[in-house]
Amino acid sequence: MADLFDATTIKNMALGNRLVRSATWEGMCEADGRPTPKLTGFYQTLAAGGIGLIISGYTFVRPEGKQMRGKMGIHTDEFADSFRAMTGAVHAAGGRIAVQLVHAGGQTDTANAGRRPLAPSALKLAQYPEVPEELSRAEIQAIIDAFGQGARRARAWGFDAVQLHGAHGYLINQFLSPLTNRRTDLYGGTIDNRCRFLMEVYQRVREAVGPDFPVLIKLSAADNLAGGLSLDDALVAATKLSAAGIDAIEVSAGTPASGKQSPVRADIDAEDKEAYNLDLARAVKKVVRCPVMVVGGFRSFDVAEEAVRESGMDYISMARPLIREPDLPKRWLAGDRRPATCISCNGCFLPGIKEGGIYCVQEKKKKT
Ligand SMILES: Cc1cc2nc3c(=O)[nH]c(=O)nc-3n(C[C@H](O)[C@H](O)[C@H](O)COP(=O)(O)O)c2cc1C
């Protein structure tokens, strides 16, 4: 029977257990996106805490794809030394690290993007801070190319895998969703057309890293919004990705405009509020051949273990619990199976914006 602490492999990437640190923007990079020694230290601490795989915070592939302060960029060869120091530190601590590649599309503002944001369609929507500009075909091709260049750099700089950010209302998700994609050309309309940008990004990334290197995706299996991406449409995307050779799909759901059904739900204080994307992930698992990861509200060892044993999940991803307890995997492995101490207050975001890096505000309160 599968176990949370099984050793597994994804292509040539050997993982010590089935626990994954889901991508978490840390707000610890320079204004131009260069990673800092503080961020390297943060990842080294996570690796030392026993997590099987770290997925980096979302990392923009072109400057106008930046959303938040302190976000990482992989758009230039100039950051080679800083990235090599980061991957080297994680490996020295026995860890594995994937970089999450993103373009924010319309889900950013002029101040962060350095220009009017670009999106599939120029729409006024709750999830967009401004009305973006509609992407031209040439700009679409330039962004696809930038994903490929980012992936090439990632492999050269020592990352163990790349993950495409196809969730939470960012550009790939904007193309998939009928709410944000109203294009009438080959990139809009039918679900096949709405998948075109994603599949072209995937193919370009695959060409850049080669057949042996793990290419993963975090995919929203629903937008949790009226008129947004449905599970049925997401299953079409998952089926296409699986057939094309994706190495794992991490299932999430929602956008920042999805209210109580956002990707980062608050107040997970009972087991029945945990694992809030598990039903979607089970549906994805049924249509794909690749491993499936599931993220969203995992706090109890038993809930995580059951998702592996009973629901066939290949990996369990967590974000907030590991901000509070980077050594949670080691604690569980050592036999202390009490739930994560994270109370899902979402207080960790603010220091990322205001103080140069995320941390658990509850832990800080305890110490002061
Ligand atoms: C501070 C913070 C930053 C996040 N940044 C990202 C990100 O860069 N990319 C991403 O895909 N999800 C991001 N997320 C969402 C998490 O990866 C995860 O999907 C969500 O928090 C639910 O998992 P959890 O209940 O284990 O925290 C972030 C969440 C938090 C709290």
Q: 205-253 pLDDT, tens per residue?
A: 999 999 999 999 999 999 999 999 999 999 999 999 999 999 999 999 9
Q: What's the CA gap between 93 and 288, in Å, rounded? A: 33
Distance CA 31, CA 27 (A): 10
Q: Tell me what percent of the chain is helix, strand and coil, each rounded to the nearest 5.
A: 40, 15, 45
What separation in Å is there between the alpha carbon of 184 and the centre of ligand 1?
33
Q: How far is the CA of 273 from the centre of ligand 1 (A)?
A: 17
| Cβ of 19 less than 6 Å from ligand 1 | no
Angle of CA points 233, 54, 323, to nearest 5°: 100
- Contacts (Cβ under 8 Å, ≥6 apart) of 89: 40, 41, 43, 44, 47
Out of 102, 262, 264, 280, mutate this one to test ligand 1's pocket (max ligand atoms within 8 Å of CB): namely 264
Nearest residue (CA) to ligand 1, atom 31: 320
Q: What angle do CA 85, 331, 11 make, to 5 degrees?
A: 50
Asked if residue 27 has its Cβ within 6 Å of ligand 1, the reply is no
What pLDDT is attached to residue 1? 85
Instruction: Please classify residue 335 by burial: count the beta carbons closer than 10 Å to its beta carbon, then call 0-12 exposed, 13-18 middle and 19+ buried.
Output: exposed
Dist. CA 176 → ligand 1 center (Å): 20
Whether residue 295 has its Cβ less than 6 Å from ligand 1: yes
The domain segmentation of the chain, as residue ranges, is 8-367
Q: How much is the pLDDT for 368?
A: 80
Each residue of 119-132: b (16+ CB within 10 Å) or e? bbbbbebebbbeeb
- Could you say which residues of the chain have pLDDT below 70? none
- Give tens-digit pLDDT for 134-171: 999 999 999 999 999 999 999 999 999 999 999 999 99
Residue 254: left if φ>0, alpha if ψ -120 to 50, beta else—which one? left
Cβ contact 98:216 at 8 Å: yes
Instruction: Confirm if 109 and 164 have CB atoms less than 8 A apart.
Output: no
Point out the ligand 1 atom lying closest to the alpha carbon of residue 218: 11
Q: Which atom of ligand 1 is nearest to the CA of 56?
A: 8
Which of ligand 1's atoms lies nearest the C-alpha of 58?
8
The verdict on whether 202 is a catalytic residue reads no
CA distance 84 to 88: 6
| Sequence-separated (6 or more) residues with CB below 8 Å from residue 100 | 23, 55, 56, 57, 58, 59, 162, 163, 164, 165, 218
State residue 303 phi and psi, 5-degree precision: -65, -40
CATH topology of domain 8-367: TIM Barrel (3.20.20)
Nearest to 358 by CA among 117, 39, 11: 39
Cα 265 from Cα 255, distance rounded (Å): 11
Q: What does the alpha-carbon distance between residue 322 and residue 12 come to, in Å, rounded to a whole number?
A: 26
Tokens 């051949």, residue located:
289
C-alpha 271 to ligand 1 mean position (Å) = 19
